[in-house]
DNA sequence: CATGAATGAGATTTCATTCAT
DNA sequence: TATGAATGAAATCTCATTCAT
């Protein structure tokens, strides 16, 4: 009945894989309260359910791939910062700006990153999870190297460690302030402002403390 | 097989509710890769499936209650610290010790806390989620008050804010170092030590920075 | 906590039983698409769920009792007709009038009678079902006797037999024209009028045929 | 165990649907006191529970389909009668014979027809119920037409109307004589014979009255 | 490769009925 | 007697995943 388009060569396969990722992203963006179902992703991508499983072994693998892409995008942004480095202080400011812009441009990054450990990594083949972790580590090591080229006075690993802590802070802060949509009324009703982190403000504050504290000790 | 008691008054009901929580905890402890099924929880508790649903509306509500208990336990520990306060510096050390011991004693706290935002809160009645949030806020405010009684030189909200950031750091750091069991071999094989946070060590470092930095500015 | 009113003597028990029947009737009247739940009946009657089971062994027993009451009411009406008999012909007209009025006054009779065989009798203790059947038979026999006192020319059993057929016709016709509420639009849209029985009209026609045919053969 | 075939095209799907109906029929035949459970039907058909729900939205839909089939079988029999019509009088006799044979060959027809209005139609999507009703009406209209071709002296709708009344009579009479199996002893013990309809005998009598009365008025 | 039918585990929900108190 | 907690069967529904075609 239907003419089955077949992805024969690798580039076609990659394209099909990407179309699945795009469909998944669109759907997840529309409702981040839960990962969209495979059938909805397949339909959005104009494919059959089974076809999705030719490209990803589990549903979570799709979203881990999506997170992986986002992380790589972010890392590239950070690497760009180190292309034209100025002073460590300015770098911190630039980093923060870059980060905030990235989060605004990639609204799925935080939801995905939150699910990574409790959901995604639990349902993805160990090999794939490993590759994801290694990719992150590679990039972090690369950034650390570039950083030391620009600022040789800092020891190996310092920048990488700061990146990890930065990531941890973002993750934790975001999850704490990510109240379910339906709880928003409550949020305004009570004087929570003192106790609920204001994500961007707190992030700015914390990161500056974190980075400047660490970097200044070597200046 | 089971005792088949009837929970008539409120204390008996609370006991039965607790027995469900205990059963769920035992099962989850045995395998943190996914929340145990409701039927397995019921069987473990010696109850019928229907009975579990008399006490909790959804499976996630069970685990949010469990997390709530853990948070309350932690808060009580922290409050105890403020009963006999010494100097701010010593307090930070004590806090860290307390925290580490708590995490060791309550191995489900971190997995549960990680799931709170992406999983638990998404599938629990908004009212219950609200109560959970309010409970946390109450405790944080209480601790903030006690803190200022002990150290009046610090402004209102400072301690609460530090607690939030502490929580964020714990959450983020834990999730980053929480590699799936099956990935552990990989973790040793590569020189990850430089880039994977060593949870306790990094936590110690970060918290000291965080708290001492903040507290010293008022001494 | 609550003061339990206890029905000690038989009249109190009968009253409580009746209050359950009343509650059930009210609820079923509000929605005849399904028998109301026991919990709703209990609440309506101001009783606990378990108490209902002290008076009726199953839910269906409640509704069989209700149907039994209705049948008895109907029989009494018919008996009244025979108190002041005129001619067989007039009797048929009176019977029809009485029947129509009864159905209007007792809107649950038809739904209940429809459920009797496929639902109620399947879920009521055989003893109770037997009593119900015997009650009906007794009344029919009584009516048959009274009829022959008034019109001796008719053989024993003729009137009883006619009553049974009357009942069968009512049952069958009613079920065929009892379209679900939500199907009513469809009913008007198509030219069903020729093929869907118009309950009262068809009933009148059929009954007159049935009775007059039978009775005239003996005049 | 099972063949695990895939129903790809429509005829295969119809076959699978039929296999579910067959399984349901077998089980219901073994115990007409209640509709068999979906899981038992699935197992009998060698299918998974979920598969049954691919073909029928509710359990009652299965049995309404079964009833629909039975009605269609019956209608076809009746249509056959009109292929080689003789006199109206003979037709009535043939109709009765056909009807009795049909009821003997399809022992589930009456139980199902009894449940149609109070149970089945209440729990089947309104659209499906409508289709069922329309099917019946179509067939009745068709028979009415054929009838008038054979016997032009009768007005339009007369035959259809008689069919409806016939159906009503069957329905009502059957329900009245359908005593629960366990009540049979009681049935013999008492002199019920005068008051309990003898289904086939009474049906014969009534139908002859009904049809001959109506048809003779036009001869 | 692509498809979508089939699977089956599991979450809820409902609710009649039982039974300890 | 009266209560309502507990039971457990069954209906639905959802959906990730498998696998015959």
Cβ atoms within 10 Å of A18's Cβ, excluding its own: 14
Q: Are B71 and B92 part of one and the same domain?
A: yes
Give whole-number Cα distances, D128 to D16, D37, D112, D134, in Å.
19, 21, 16, 10
Residue B186 confidence (pLDDT) above 80: no
Please tell me whether any atom of strand E lies within 7 Å of the Cβ of A49. yes
Q: Which of D34, D134, D168 sits opposite C176 (nearest CB)?
A: D168
pLDDT tens by residue, C50-68: 999 999 999 999 999 999 9
Q: Are C30 and C42 part of one and the same domain?
A: yes
Q: Tell me, in Å, how far CA of B109 is from C1' of F7? A: 33
- C209 to chain D, minimum CA–CA distance in Å? 8
What does the DSSP assignment read for A79-113? HHHHHS---HHHHHHHHHHHHHHHHHH-TTHHHHH
pLDDT given for residue B1 in this prediction: 36
Q: Are A149 and A209 part of one and the same domain?
A: yes
Sort out which chain C residues have CB atoms less than 8 A from D160's CB and list them: 194-195
Nearest to C101 by CA among C130, C80, C129: C80
Name every residue whose Cβ is closer than 8 Å to that of residue D38 and which is 6 or more positions away in sequence.
D49, D52, D53, D59
Is A34 in contact with B202 (Cβ distance < 8 A)?
Answer: no
- D136 to chain C, minimum CA–CA distance in Å? 9
With bands split at pLDDT 50, 70 and 90, how would you rate the model's confidence at C2? very low
Cα separation, A136 vs A141, whole angstroms: 9
pLDDT given for residue D192 in this prediction: 58
Cα separation, D72 vs D143, whole angstroms: 12
Sort out which chain C residues have CB atoms less than 8 A from D115's CB and list them: 118-119
Nearest to C142 by CA among C207, C76, C189, C90: C76
Please, do chains C and D touch (3+ CB pairs < 8 Å)? yes
pLDDT tens by residue, B52-94: 999 999 999 999 999 999 999 999 999 999 988 788 889 999 9
Those residues of chain D that have pLDDT short of 70 are 1-4, 190-195, 218-219
pLDDT given for residue B194 in this prediction: 58
Size of chain C in residues = 219
pLDDT tens by residue, C84-143: 878 888 999 999 999 999 999 999 999 999 999 999 999 999 999 999 999 998 999 999
For the domain that residue D106 is a member of, what is the CATH number? 1.10.357.10
Using CB atoms within 10 A of its CB, is residue D196 exposed (0-12), middle (13-18) or buried (19+)? buried
Which residue is closest, via its CA, to the C1' of E14? C37
Q: Are D14 and D41 part of one and the same domain?
A: yes
Number of domains in chain D: 2
pLDDT given for residue A193 in this prediction: 56
Cβ atoms within 10 Å of D83's Cβ, excluding its own: 8
Q: Do B58 and B123 form a contact (C-beta atoms < 8 A)? A: yes
- Contacts by D92-95, CB closer than 8 A, 24 or more apart: D92/D207, D92/D208, D92/D211, D92/D212, D92/D215, D95/D166, D95/D207, D95/D211
Q: Are A41 and A86 part of one and the same domain?
A: no
Chain C residue with Cα closest to D191:
C137
Contacts C–D by Cβ distance under 8 A: 153
pLDDT tens by residue, C176-207: 989 887 787 777 776 655 567 788 988 998 88
Cα separation, D151 vs A158, whole angstroms: 103
- D69 to chain C, minimum CA–CA distance in Å? 18
Name every residue whose Cβ is closer than 8 Å to that of residue A130 and which is 6 or more positions away in sequence.
B183, B186
Q: Are A84 and A185 part of one and the same domain?
A: yes
Nucleotide nearest to B60 (CA to C1'): E11
Q: Do B108 and B28 form a contact (C-beta atoms < 8 A)? A: yes
Using CB atoms within 10 A of its CB, is residue D20 exposed (0-12), middle (13-18) or buried (19+)? buried
What does the DSSP assignment read for B158-216? HHHHHHHHHHHHHHHHHHHH---GGGHHHHHHTTGGGTS--HHHHHHHHHHHHHHHHHH
Helix (H, G, I), strand (E, B) or coil at B47: coil
Q: Do D64 and D124 form a contact (C-beta atoms < 8 A)? A: yes
Q: Are B144 and B111 part of one and the same domain?
A: yes
Name every residue whose Cβ is closer than 8 Å to that of residue C107 and which is 6 or more positions away in sequence.
C29
Q: Are C150 and C210 part of one and the same domain?
A: yes
Is C115 in contact with D118 (Cβ distance < 8 A)?
Answer: yes
Residue D64 vs residue B190, higher pLDDT: D64
pLDDT given for residue B136 in this prediction: 92
Cα separation, B18 vs B10, whole angstroms: 12
What does the DSSP assignment read for A38-69? HHHHHHHHT--HHHHHHH-SSHHHHHHHHHHH
Give whole-number Cα distances, A140 to A115, A158, B133, D204, in Å.
21, 11, 35, 92
Q: Tell me, in Å, how far CA of A2 is from C1' of F10? A: 40
Please tell me whether any atom of strand E lies within 7 Å of the Cβ of A47. yes
Give whole-number Cα distances, A201 to A165, A170, B118, C152, in Å.
17, 12, 22, 103
With bands split at pLDDT 50, 70 and 90, how would you rate the model's confidence at B15? very high
Task: Tell me the longest C-alpha to C-alpha distance in chain C.
Answer: 71
pLDDT in tens, chain A (219 residues): 444 567 677 888 899 999 999 999 999 999 999 999 999 999 999 999 999 999 999 999 999 999 999 999 999 999 999 988 788 889 999 999 999 999 999 999 999 999 999 999 999 999 999 999 989 989 999 999 999 999 999 998 889 888 998 999 999 999 998 888 778 777 777 665 556 778 888 899 888 888 888 887 766
Helix (H) or strand (E) holding C110, with range, is helix C109-115
Could you say which DSSP state residue C155 is in?
P
Identify the sign of the CA torsion C167, C171, C177, C179. positive
Which two tokens mark B158? 């400072």
Is D195 in contact with C165 (Cβ distance < 8 A)?
Answer: no
Q: Which of C118, C168, C186 sits opposite D169 (nearest CB)?
A: C168
Please tell me whether any atom of strand E lies within 7 Å of the Cβ of A101. no
**Whole-number average pLDDT of chain B:** 90
Give whole-number Cα distances, C12 to C8, C64, C66, in Å.
6, 21, 19
Q: Are C62 and C51 part of one and the same domain?
A: no
Cα separation, A169 vs D189, whole angstroms: 86
For chain B, percent of residues with pLDDT exceeding 90: 68
Q: Tell me, in Å, how far CA of B112 is from C1' of E3? A: 39
Nearest to D169 by CA among D197, D118, D212, D203: D203
pLDDT given for residue D186 in this prediction: 75
Q: Are A118 and A27 part of one and the same domain?
A: no
Is D173 in contact with C170 (Cβ distance < 8 A)?
Answer: no
- A5 to chain B, minimum CA–CA distance in Å? 36
Which two tokens mark B153? 């030189």
Q: Do D144 and D159 form a contact (C-beta atoms < 8 A)? A: yes
Q: Are C49 and C62 part of one and the same domain?
A: no
Cα separation, B116 vs A172, whole angstroms: 11
Chains contacting chain B through 3 or more C-beta pairs under 8 A: A
Please tell me whether any atom of strand E lies within 7 Å of the Cβ of C117. no
Nearest to D17 by CA among D54, D50, D49, D48: D54
Terminal alpha carbon distance of chain A: 71
Q: Are B75 and B183 part of one and the same domain?
A: yes
Phi/psi at C197 (5° precision): -65, 135
For the domain that residue A8 is a member of, what is the CATH number? 1.10.10
Cα separation, B18 vs B8, whole angstroms: 15
Name every residue whose Cβ is closer than 8 Å to that of residue A169 and which is 6 or more positions away in sequence.
A203, A206, A207, A210, B165, B168, B169, B172
Q: Do C41 and C20 form a contact (C-beta atoms < 8 A)? A: yes
Q: Which domain holds residue B178?
A: 58-216
Residues 7-46 of B with CB under 7 A from strand F: 7-8, 13, 16, 46
Nearest to C32 by CA among D117, B155, A213, A82: D117
Cα separation, D20 vs C219, whole angstroms: 57
Which two tokens mark A7? 């992805």
Terminal alpha carbon distance of chain B: 62
Q: Do B65 and B56 form a contact (C-beta atoms < 8 A)? A: yes
Query: Which range is most confident: B144-158, B201-215, D29-43, D177-191?
Result: D29-43
């Amino acid at each position: 009945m239907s003419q089955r388009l077949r992805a024969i060569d690798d580039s076609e396969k990659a394209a099909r894989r990407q179309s699945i990722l795009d469909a998944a992203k669109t759907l997840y963006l529309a409702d981040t309260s839960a990962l969209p179902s495979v059938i909805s992703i397949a339909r959005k991508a104009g494919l059959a359910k089974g076809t999705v499983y030719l490209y990803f072994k589990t549903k979570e693998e799709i979203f881990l791939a999506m997170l992986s892409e986002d992380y790589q995008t972010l890392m590239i942004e950070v690497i760009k910062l180190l292309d034209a480095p100025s002073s460590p202080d300015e770098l911190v400011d630039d980093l923060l700006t870059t980060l905030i812009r990235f989060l605004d441009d990639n609204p799925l990054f935080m939801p995905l990153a939150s699910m990574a450990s409790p959901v995604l990594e639990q349902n993805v083949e160990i090999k794939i999870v490993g590759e994801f972790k290694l990719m992150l580590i590679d990039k972090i090591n690369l950034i650390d190297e570039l950083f030391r080229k620009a600022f040789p006075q800092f020891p190996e690993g310092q920048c990488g460690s700061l990146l990890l802590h930065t990531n941890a802070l973002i993750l934790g802060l975001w999850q704490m302030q990510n109240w379910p949509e339906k709880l928003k009324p409550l949020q305004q009703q009570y004087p929570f402002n003192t106790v609920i982190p204001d994500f961007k403000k707190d992030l700015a504050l914390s990161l500056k403390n974190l980075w400047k504290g660490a970097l200044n000790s070597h200046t």
